[in-house]
Structure 1
């Protein structure tokens, strides 16, 4: 069991997209440099004053790379700590560290938060060795020694907890995206299959009246039927894998024409006002269904979560080769939707992106929440 846990840890990759530097890093660096210099100047009990100040300054600068290069920073800093502890043990002098060196507790956190499994094992080995040697060089008693060890290693536990929470969040978002792709695949299948079925029926009808038509028409109808039948079979095979029950019902999905029914079904509190403008005919496969689903999710969020909202405005406009859907409510000002995890927003974003469009959502300039979606009339899958 322990062996399996170690193997699993060794296969753990590094955390994705570590931030390089943020403004807090520069504030921390400035504070540590100032503290190190002041200690070096005014503390009379500092042993090997120049070495201690240089060590503290170097450690402060090394913190700038603690997220992008966690193992290298941990090995570099704690190797210097180990070396200094050896010197203290051999020479019998007092430890020469400064109070500002307490910043090293950030390194175990960064190691567990951003490092790979192999880096975690190697880095923790250096941390433990430095802790043991430091305790041996200046043993304060068992109580203080244990407390010091917990103080140094507890940030590592916090880093692991933060990483686990972030990983769980990413996995949940991936599940949302997969469900949205499955739903989109269903709608694309049902829409296209509906039209292709009509082609097959027309081809069969053409064959029925073929004796009164030229021979070329019979050949063309046979080709249409063969191509249509093969397309349906291949589509059912591919999309059927995404369905829970493996079926592929040829039922057209809701589209732009169903928005009025959607607005009426929302009720009167808040009241949903629908405005359609421009040419909304002949939309690409899946675009109409995407407009309907995004409007449905946005209205549902407004009805459930918009506080004191009396009106939800839904506007769909066609201009050129694009469609623009905006959904706004007049609820109380808010900074986030009711679902703090934002899975509905993640699903709508994924749907718009898959169709080659854009999605934006956030607080309106005056009141309430606003959703703004732009989609091409003919979907381009990305």
Structure 2
């Protein structure tokens, strides 16, 4: 059991999507450098003052690479402090050799546990333990202070693990949402293809029966078969592409533009919903129509759950020659910090992106919330 846990920990990969650098890194570095200069110049009990200042300022640069190279930065910082402490012990130096500002190395400990791989965490923990032990030996006072030091070093490690587990849990929930969408798409793929293929078979049978007595009817049947075949191919390309991408949101046909008024009526009992569908909806493919329906459905659900005192909701669907624009707005009161994005928002964004469209979800210019999606319109032969 313990061996299995150790093996899994050793094989644990790095946390994904570690940012190389953000603006806060520059601010943190400036604060550390300024603190080192101030402490080095004003503190009277510092031994090897110029060296202590240069050491602290130099090690502060490790903060810039703490996410992308956590083990290396921990090794550099704690390794340098170990060397300095050992040199101080050998020289019998009294007083403090390093500045208190070097406490920034706790940020490196946090980054190690937040972003490092399992192997890096294990090795980095050993480096930190050695550095802490040498520091305690050099500046030994009481057992209570030693225990306090252990707690101080442990806190950023626990914090890093907690944040990492929280982000991992959210990513797993998002993956589960996407997996459910893929399963639904695969299940409904049969219904889509079966509908078109059944129509093709019926027309082919009818054409064969009347082919001798009514050649014109047979030609018409071939035209219908061709149109159904084009529709089937278009749907298959779209859906198989979704499955191949591995992040397939639900694009399969079911409900479409014609079902939006009934959908809006379900919310209308609570908040009045105005629906406007303009343009030629006949030529809109079932997958695009289903995606628009799901976008409106999720947007209205968010209004019901999150909007503060809305008095009106507007659903505007415009079918243009090359695209479909779907806009859902409400006049709810502004919410400080905006509305928290949910997993339904992830689904909306995935659907629109996969179809080659764009979507904007956010506060309106003056009040309320806006969901504005644009989907390219791929028409099929009628």
Query: Given the two structures, how large is their TM-score scaled by the length of structure 1?
Result: 0.86
Unaligned residue ranges in structure 2 (runs of 5+): 244-251
- Match for residue 4 of structure 2? 4
Quick check: 180-189 or 256-265, which moved more? 180-189
Contact 2:36 2:53 in 1 (8 A): yes
Inter-partner Cα distance in structure 1 for 2:213 and 2:200: 20
Residues 302-340 of structure 1: CA distance to partner in whole angstroms, max 9, x if unpaired?
1232121111100001222100000001111125676x3
Contact 1:105 1:155 in 2 (8 A): yes
Are 1:123 and 2:124 an aligned pair?
Answer: yes
Contact 2:253 2:290 in 1 (8 A): no
Contact 1:187 1:289 in 2 (8 A): no
Secondary structure of 1:266 counterpart? helix
Inter-partner Cα distance in structure 2 for 1:185 and 1:317: 29
Inter-partner Cα distance in structure 2 for 1:252 and 1:350: 16
Contact 2:85 2:135 in 1 (8 A): yes
Are 1:310 and 2:311 an aligned pair?
Answer: yes
Quick check: 106-115 or 285-294, which moved more? 285-294
Moved over 6 A (4+): none
Q: How much has 1:202 moved relative to structure 2?
A: 1.1
Q: CA RMSD, aligned part only?
A: 2.6
Q: How much has 1:186 moved relative to structure 2?
A: 4.5
Residues 43-88 of structure 1: CA distance to partner in whole angstroms, max 9, x if unpaired?
2211111221111001212111111211111111111111112112
Matched pairs, number = 356
- Match for residue 108 of structure 2? 107
Secondary structure of 1:317 counterpart? strand
Inter-partner Cα distance in structure 1 for 2:147 and 2:115: 26
- Match for residue 22 of structure 2? 22
Q: How much has 1:31 moved relative to structure 2?
A: 1.6
Contact 1:74 1:108 in 2 (8 A): yes
Are 1:85 and 2:85 an aligned pair?
Answer: yes
Q: How much has 1:299 moved relative to structure 2?
A: 1.1
Secondary structure of 1:360 counterpart? strand
Compared with structure 1, are the counterparts of its residues 188 and 274 closer, same or farther at alpha carbon in structure 2 (3 Å cutoff)? farther
Unaligned residue ranges in structure 1 (runs of 5+): 243-250
- Match for residue 347 of structure 1? 347
- Match for residue 153 of structure 1? 154
Query: Given the two structures, how large is their TM-score scaled by the length of structure 2?
Result: 0.86
Inter-partner Cα distance in structure 1 for 2:21 and 2:136: 33
- Match for residue 209 of structure 2? 208
